[in-house]
Structure 1
Amino acid sequence: MALFADLNITNSTNTKKLQNIIETAAHLGYSTVAINHLVDLQQKKQEIGKPKDVAELFTQFPIVQGRSKPIKVLNRLTLVASDASQFRPSADFKNYDIVAILAKTEKLFHAACMSFDVDIVCITVTEKQSFHFKRPPVNGAIDRGVYFEINYTPAIKDSTMRRYTISNSLSLMEICKGKNVIISSGAEKPLELRGPYDIANLGLLFGLSEGDAKAAVSTNCRAALLHGETRKTALGIIHTMKKVQQPEEEQAEEEAPASKRAKKTNV
């Protein structure tokens, strides 16, 4: 049985509401969910703090339907920014299992895909995409193991946002060909959640193939989590370069004693 995940459950100060959403997710068959803490870097007073300990939500986490194990609850940080200067890597990132960014401009989207130390790049679904997706940054993100996220909740709330969600998703699929895509809910209440198989079917409307749509709520989510674990534990980068080997004769001549080289020259 596939392990399904919803990596975007909207954080709430209402603990009871958050508990109900997580219980509903477990009942629908999700084995992992992530509570999303949204920080808008465009607002100067916004700061990245420590997330609430998820152990405080339940004394015993609900059991996943069809499995004997309890649901796994993680913390996620999503940064909203419009300029690269607003994004500053912080030690606070390590308090979160996943770090995502919602880029409002093409320049920032390019930087997020190519160089930012994040796990997920979010795609705008509540309005028309302000720029066109280009192949170099998208392929760069795929090569780095960064994933693109589409939220489906706006699409089931409003017909206008449904058009934006489908249109923006199709634009992305033309470039990424369904690779490195995850589908999450962004749910604020239990009624906004849908089962993983329903979401896989919804992925077909977003331009995904049947296999890619299922991966978008299962294996791709797990890969994004593993990328987050690597981000938290990696301490450095090793860069290797291939050494150009000299011809054997030139190498032997260089290693010969200076007196022999001089004698050969005189002859």
Structure 2
Amino acid sequence: MLYDLNIAWSPSTTTAELERTLRFSSQLGYNVVALNHTLDAPLPSKLANPLPRFPTPPSPPQPQNTTTTTTTTGRLPTILYRITIAFTDPSQNPQLAKAAQAYDLVAVRPQSEKAFQAACLTVQDASLISLDLSTRQPFYFRPKPCMAAVSRGLRFEICYSRAILASPGSGGGGVDARARANFAGNVAQLVRATRGRGIVISSEAGAAMGLRAPADVVNLLAVWGLSPERGMEGLRANPRGVVVNEGIKRSGFRGVVDIVGVAERSAEEEKKKGGAVGVGEGRGVVPVNKDSKKRKNGDAEGGDAQPVSKRQAKKLKAALRRKEVEGKEPQS
């Protein structure tokens, strides 16, 4: 499955335009996409999810001679809802726990060196560190905090749409050269700092023109230092891990245990349970068998006795020898 965890949304985006973008992403091969709502910290006291809802109907069975292009035409992918919180000072309290209750995915966008250090080392309840790589960053991507974030389970997001589309200030006459230069330098620096690990590739496209096919994205980032193997991980394994982990956090017990169902006992287990006396049964104590005491002290009806020590065995052998000698002596 292919993932695009950043389809940009704003209040000015119409539902028809957004639906057209989602359908085009499905035609390109993306199976799961996330609508992204960006807010600045601190969050409002009453946080509501304003993203439009697109119920995904179950796909009807297709004939065997239908090609892949026709099966994906006019169908919406699986849609998730995400919030990206931009903050400059760690003391602003992004309130990520509150955002996790209203959205499926939570990401942070640090805009200063202190915020980047906090996002890598201390911020909880977030799974993505989203960076606007088309602008000049006020800090360097150093290996130590970046690898610490990867080891904590965080993922760095690379959004490619701003490097292939014209910026608003360029008048629409081609791609902004400065934005592309910044993007190339930042991607190369981030790949060196993380060694290509823990990278998620997204589009951050606000329209269908900002989307590219997965093969084109991998080839594009390979020019700037990201190997094709790591590029495919950024479209498949890494975003899938983000989605699964966020789902477990919301459905499992403390994000660790997810109880699906309890298996029924088999007939053999029921027989064993019926032939044993349970001591403290139902409280996690192992049942004790009836014959355990007999096996310990010896069965009165000629069962196996308790094993004797070497010293006792020598004494028994000596007693048997004495009896044999006494039996061989002639009687007077």
Judge same fold: TM > 0.5, yes or no. Answer: yes
- Is 1:123–2:117 an aligned residue pair? no
Find the counterpart in structure 1 of residue 97 from structure 2.
90
Distance 1:37 1:53, change over 3 A: same
TM-score, L = length of structure 2: 0.64
Structure 1 gap ranges (5+): 239-267
Asked if the contact 2:134–2:182 (Cα under 8 Å) also holds between the matched residues in 1, the reply is: yes
Structure with more relative contact order (C-alpha pairs < 8 Å, separation 6 or more): 1
Q: Using the alignment, how far apart are the partners of 1:220 and 1:98 within structure 2?
A: 14
> What amino acid does structure 1 have at the position aligned with 2:14?
N
Q: Using the alignment, how far apart are the partners of 2:21 and 2:229 within structure 1?
A: 27
Q: Using the alignment, how far apart are the partners of 1:148 and 1:164 within structure 2?
A: 17
Find the counterpart in structure 2 of residue 33 from structure 1.
33
Q: Using the alignment, how far apart are the partners of 1:235 and 1:113 within structure 2?
A: 25
Asked if the contact 2:249–2:255 (Cα under 8 Å) also holds between the matched residues in 1, the reply is: no
Within a 5 Å distance, the mapping from 1:216-255 to structure 2 comes to 216-233=234-251, 235-236=253-254
Find the counterpart in structure 1 of residue 84 from structure 2.
78
RMSD of equivalent CA atoms: 2.7
Deviations 1:122-165, CA, capped at 9 Å, x for gaps? 12213111111122221111111110001101110222111111
After alignment, is 145-154 or 135-144 more displaced?
Answer: 135-144
- Is 1:8–2:15 an aligned residue pair? no
After alignment, is 58-67 or 96-105 more displaced?
Answer: 58-67
Distance 1:54 1:45, change over 3 A: closer
Distance 1:126 1:48, change over 3 A: farther
Give the drift of 1:89: 2.8
Q: Out of 107, 120, 132, which is 1:100 matched to?
A: 107
Overall identity of the aligned pairs, in %? 29
Q: Using the alignment, how far apart are the partners of 2:217 and 2:203 within structure 1?
A: 9
Q: Using the alignment, how far apart are the partners of 2:226 and 2:47 within structure 1?
A: 34
TM-score, L = length of structure 1: 0.79
Corresponding residue SS for 1:6:
strand
Find the counterpart in structure 2 of residue 141 from structure 1.
149
Distance 1:204 1:52, change over 3 A: same
Give the drift of 1:46: 9.1
Give the drift of 1:168: 0.7
Q: Using the alignment, how far apart are the partners of 2:191 and 2:99 within structure 1?
A: 33
Corresponding residue SS for 2:31:
strand
Asked if the contact 2:41–2:87 (Cα under 8 Å) also holds between the matched residues in 1, the reply is: yes
> What amino acid does structure 2 have at the position aligned with 1:55?
F
Give the drift of 1:107: 1.3
Give the drift of 1:236: 3.9
Q: Using the alignment, how far apart are the partners of 1:183 and 1:219 within structure 2?
A: 11
> What amino acid does structure 1 have at the position aligned with 2:141?
F
> What amino acid does structure 1 have at the position aligned with 2:147?
N
Find the counterpart in structure 2 of residue 49 from structure 1.
48
Q: How many equivalent residue pairs?
A: 234
Q: Using the alignment, how far apart are the partners of 2:137 and 2:14 within structure 1?
A: 32
Find the counterpart in structure 1 of residue 207 from structure 2.
189
Distance 1:111 1:214, change over 3 A: same
Distance 1:162 1:47, change over 3 A: farther
Corresponding residue SS for 1:75:
strand
Within a 5 Å distance, the mapping from 1:247-266 to structure 2 comes to none
Q: Using the alignment, how far apart are the partners of 2:155 and 2:69 within structure 1?
A: 27
Deviations 1:161-190, CA, capped at 9 Å, x for gaps? 111111111111111000010111111111
Distance 1:228 1:51, change over 3 A: farther
Corresponding residue SS for 1:10:
strand
Give the drift of 1:85: 1.8
Q: Using the alignment, how far apart are the partners of 2:148 and 2:191 within structure 1?
A: 15
Give the drift of 1:10: 0.8
Corresponding residue SS for 1:91:
helix
Asked if the contact 1:39–1:47 (Cα under 8 Å) also holds between the matched residues in 2, the reply is: no
Distance 1:59 1:218, change over 3 A: closer
Larger radius of gyration: 2
Distance 1:208 1:114, change over 3 A: same
Asked if the contact 2:96–2:126 (Cα under 8 Å) also holds between the matched residues in 1, the reply is: no
Q: Using the alignment, how far apart are the partners of 1:190 and 1:234 within structure 2?
A: 36
Find the counterpart in structure 2 of residue 263 from structure 1.
none
Deviations 1:74-117, CA, capped at 9 Å, x for gaps? 10110011011222233331221211111001111111112212
Give the drift of 1:217: 1.3
Find the counterpart in structure 2 of residue 243 from structure 1.
none
